[in-house]
């Protein structure tokens, strides 16, 4: 753990180079499920985790000029009957290299002029305002020193240090294992739920959690499908979007789409090859300095070209992309930042994902893009092109009319057995180009 203390020291020293006011970050509290003692698994705020390294509940840290102070209460009298011996505050302080340790009650005595970022649970958010004795704007619209702090943390968290990369590799490794188990489980599985079970069992075995709600479905056209009751039928595709999260909060995020029967139909294979080509070319294009949006548009271009070749779209791929025709079938972004959050720093709205001065486009083909920055060495991003037949899009009267002549609707009907395909990997931007963290997982 000496390594952890060293890493945390480097992180707060970098922070001190960017801002000179004190910072207090809260970890948050566990959310109750159906009664107070029956709680969801606790997950500390990512900003806290970045500088504190441990999932400490109801704790706070104060960072100032490279110093770290930990605020946490000792275990309650009698808690060892229920929870065993838990580390004392002094031991925790030593593990993370804190310069001092106090109880949470003492936090108010050290709260003067401090900046913060709101946590997710409403109770702790109230406490943050009480302790700082002021309003705190929502995390996606920070004001004053909170905005300065937010920008500084984004600058740090955008590009990962070696400890973060070690964690991300661990998450990627477990995610790959889960996907391998999922693919193996398909043949014997009767429902989506059984494949999901095989995948999540790997994560539980590895003492990890899911970085997000797993998507394991034969209805890949529902982008955030969280139902698992459908039976698996021989002609179906099964889309599996499952990612591991390490004990200290770092995420993996991978999607694979396989044929339930083990063999794609000719139409499924044809579309799969288009998506895979987009996947491969986009990853190949990753390098420092490259605009992520250009990678998104590259995917759009390849998908449009592929669909023209398959006679589903009509026209010139560039013109089709300019008219957002690709987005009829690829209605989301090519990917996003990956780090302590699966959509890293999305609690900050687009402040992390979009470079200063940039705003979301209104264009159908761009508005769901979560990342619009030039890539930098040390960033980890996902690349996740897809093809979907979403009834809500394809049957929408306005869409239907607008794209009446660009889509060969009769030809499209021949591809009815392709409801949704996505292929997603996690990619580190390196000085010389890129490294696919999830490269051990096959795409064919």
Provide the binding-site residues for a second copy, judged by CB under 8 A: 31-41, 43, 45-46, 78, 80-85, 120-123, 126, 191, 193-194, 196-198, 200-202, 204-207, 212-213, 219, 221-226, 228-229, 249, 331, 340-343, 345-347, 390-393
Taking the complex as a whole, how short is the minimal distance between the CB of residue 379 and a second copy, in angstroms?
A: 18
Answer whether 334's CB lies under 8 Å from 381's CB: no
How does strand 67-71 pair with strand 100-102? parallel
Taking the complex as a whole, how short is the minimal distance between the CB of residue 38 and a second copy, in angstroms?
A: 5
Q: Which is nearer to a second copy, 102 or 329 (CB)?
A: 329
Q: How far apart are CA 112 and CA 86, in angstroms?
A: 31
Q: Which is nearer to a second copy, 224 or 359 (CB)?
A: 224
Taking the complex as a whole, how short is the minimal distance between the CB of residue 28 and a second copy, in angstroms?
A: 9
CB within 8 Å of 308: residues ≥ 6 apart: 314, 315, 316, 317, 320
User: What is the end-to-end Cα distance of the chain in Å, rounded?
Assistant: 40
Q: Which is nearer to a second copy, 6 or 184 (CB)?
A: 184
Taking the complex as a whole, how short is the minimal distance between the CB of residue 34 and a second copy, in angstroms?
A: 5
Q: How far apart are CA 194 and CA 187, in angstroms?
A: 11
Taking the complex as a whole, how short is the minimal distance between the CB of residue 299 and a second copy, in angstroms?
A: 18
Q: How far apart are CA 443 and CA 440, in angstroms?
A: 9
> Which has the closest alpha carbon to 370: 342, 346, 398?
346
Beta strands in 126-202 (DSSP E): none
Q: How far apart are CA 352 and CA 374, in angstroms?
A: 12
Q: Which is nearer to a second copy, 40 or 409 (CB)?
A: 40
Taking the complex as a whole, how short is the minimal distance between the CB of residue 391 and a second copy, in angstroms?
A: 8
Alpha helices in 287-418 (DSSP H): 292-309, 317-322, 391-394, 397-402, 409-413
Q: Which is nearer to a second copy, 69 or 346 (CB)?
A: 346
CA distances from 277 to 302, 303, 304, 331 (A): 7, 8, 12, 17
Q: Which is nearer to a second copy, 21 or 364 (CB)?
A: 364
Q: What is the DSSP string of 47-90?
A: HHHHHH-S--TT-EEEEETTEEEEE-PPPPTTHHHHH-----HH
Q: Which is nearer to a second copy, 38 or 404 (CB)?
A: 38
Q: How far apart are CA 228 and CA 114, in angstroms?
A: 46
Taking the complex as a whole, how short is the minimal distance between the CB of residue 357 and a second copy, in angstroms?
A: 23
Query: Which residues on adjacent β-strands are paired with residue 256?
Result: 240
Taking the complex as a whole, how short is the minimal distance between the CB of residue 434 and a second copy, in angstroms?
A: 26
Taking the complex as a whole, how short is the minimal distance between the CB of residue 444 and a second copy, in angstroms?
A: 27
Q: Which is nearer to a second copy, 44 or 283 (CB)?
A: 44
- Long-range CB pairs of 90-97, under 8 A, 24+ apart, other chains included: 92/54, 92/56, 95/1, 95/4, 95/5, 95/53, 95/54, 96/4, 96/5, 96/8, 96/52, 96/53, 96/54, 96/68, 96/70, 97/4, 97/5, 97/6, 97/8, 97/9, 97/68
Taking the complex as a whole, how short is the minimal distance between the CB of residue 133 and a second copy, in angstroms?
A: 20
Answer whether 49's CB lies under 8 Å from 341's CB: no
Q: Which is nearer to a second copy, 69 or 206 (CB)?
A: 206
Q: Which is nearer to a second copy, 57 or 161 (CB)?
A: 57
DSSP secondary structure code for residue 246 in this structure: -
Q: Roughly what angle, to the nearest 10 degrees, separates helices 89-96 and 2-18?
A: 70
Q: Residue 93 in 3-state DSSP?
A: helix
What dihedral angle (degrees, nearest 10) is formed by the CA atoms of 270, 273, 274, 277? -160
Q: Which is nearer to a second copy, 167 or 221 (CB)?
A: 221
Taking the complex as a whole, how short is the minimal distance between the CB of residue 35 and a second copy, in angstroms?
A: 4
Q: Which is nearer to a second copy, 45 or 175 (CB)?
A: 45
Taking the complex as a whole, how short is the minimal distance between the CB of residue 47 and a second copy, in angstroms?
A: 10
């Amino acid at each position: 753990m000496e390594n952890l203390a060293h890493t945390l020291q480097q992180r707060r020293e970098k922070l001190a180079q960017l801002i000179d006011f004190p910072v207090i970050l809260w970890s948050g509290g566990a959310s109750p499920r159906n009664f107070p003692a029956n709680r969801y698994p606790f997950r500390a705020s990512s900003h806290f985790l970045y500088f504190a390294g441990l999932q400490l509940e109801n704790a706070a840290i104060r960072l100032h000029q490279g110093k770290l102070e930990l605020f946490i209460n000792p275990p309650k009298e009698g808690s060892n009957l229920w929870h065993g011996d838990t580390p004392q505050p002094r031991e925790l302080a030593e593990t993370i290299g804190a310069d001092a340790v106090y109880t949470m009650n003492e936090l108010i005595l050290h709260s003067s002029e401090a900046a913060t970022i709101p946590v997710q649970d409403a109770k702790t958010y109230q406490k943050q305002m009480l302790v700082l004795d002021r309003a705190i704007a929502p995390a996606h619209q920070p004001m004053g020193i909170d905005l300065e702090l937010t920008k500084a943390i984004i600058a740090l968290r955008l590009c990962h240090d070696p400890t973060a990369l070690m964690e991300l590799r661990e998450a990627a490794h477990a995610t790959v294992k889960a996907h391998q188990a999922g693919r193996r489980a398909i043949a014997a599985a009767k429902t989506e739920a059984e494949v999901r079970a095989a995948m999540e069992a790997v994560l539980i075995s590895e003492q990890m959690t899911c970085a997000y709600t797993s998507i394991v479905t034969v209805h890949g056209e529902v982008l955030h499908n969280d139902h698992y009751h459908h039976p698996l039928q021989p002609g179906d595709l099964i889309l599996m979007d499952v990612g591991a999260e390490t004990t200290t909060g770092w995420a993996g995020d991978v999607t694979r789409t396989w044929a339930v029967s083990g063999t794609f139909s000719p139409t499924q294979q044809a579309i799969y090859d288009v998506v895979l080509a987009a996947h491969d070319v986009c990853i190949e294009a990753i390098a420092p300095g490259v605009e992520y949006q250009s990678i998104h548009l590259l995917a759009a271009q390849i998908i449009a070209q592929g669909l023209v070749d398959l006679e589903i779209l009509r026209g010139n791929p560039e013109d089709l992309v300019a008219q957002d025709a690709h987005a009829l079938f690829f209605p989301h972004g090519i990917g996003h930042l990956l780090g302590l959050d699966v959509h890293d720093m999305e609690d900050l709205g687009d402040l992390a994902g979009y470079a200063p001065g940039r705003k979301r486009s209104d264009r159908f083909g761009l508005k769901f893009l979560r990342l619009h920055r030039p890539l930098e060495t040390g960033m980890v991003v996902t690349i996740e092109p897809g093809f979907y037949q979403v009834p809500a899009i394809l049957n929408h009267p306005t869409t239907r009319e607008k794209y009446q002549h660009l889509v060969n609707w009769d030809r499209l009907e021949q591809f009815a057995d392709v409801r949704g395909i996505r292929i997603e990997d996690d990619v580190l931007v390196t000085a010389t180009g890129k490294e696919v963290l999830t490269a051990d997982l096959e795409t064919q």
